[in-house]
Amino acid sequence: MISRESRVLLGSMALVAVVILGLDLVTDALGLPRWSSPLFGFLVIVGLGVAAPQLYLARTDDDRSPLTRLRIVVFLTVVFGFLFVGAAQGLEQLAIVGLTALTVVGWFGYEFLVAFRAAREDPSRLPDVDGGPGSP
């Protein structure tokens, strides 16, 4: 039997395929210019294929830590950012780099906030950096 996590991930990949194929069919039927740009591909794959299922599982699944799920989102956003930025030009390239950078900066900010709150609750967890007693 397929696990719940696998069903969610496969469902999100199927949704990505349906969105891309559906948009392709609609643009062909209406005679509109194609939406096949690197930025669109990046947003669909990272948004629907990576972030949506991982954030859903972070909220509802107890098998893995929500922090692990968030790390997966950041890591895969960086990977797909590198893959798509090479095909983009101009503002699309800047948008992909900017969104990827915002994801990484947001993650570091979140990690900092978690560490700060943990240190406020238990100051003994902080390393001794002020040269106080017990320092070499």
Please check the confidence at residue 129 and state whether its pLDDT lies above 60: no
Please check the confidence at residue 76 and state whether its pLDDT lies above 90: yes
Q: What per-residue string of b and e applies to 86-116 under the rule 16 or more CB within 10 Å gives b? A: eebeeebbebbeebbeebeeebeeeeeeeee
Domain boundaries, the chain: 4-123
Please check the confidence at residue 55 and state whether its pLDDT lies above 60: yes
pTM: 0.78
The pLDDT of residue 77 is 96
The pLDDT of residue 125 is 65
HSE (CB half, 13 Å, CA atoms) of 46? 24
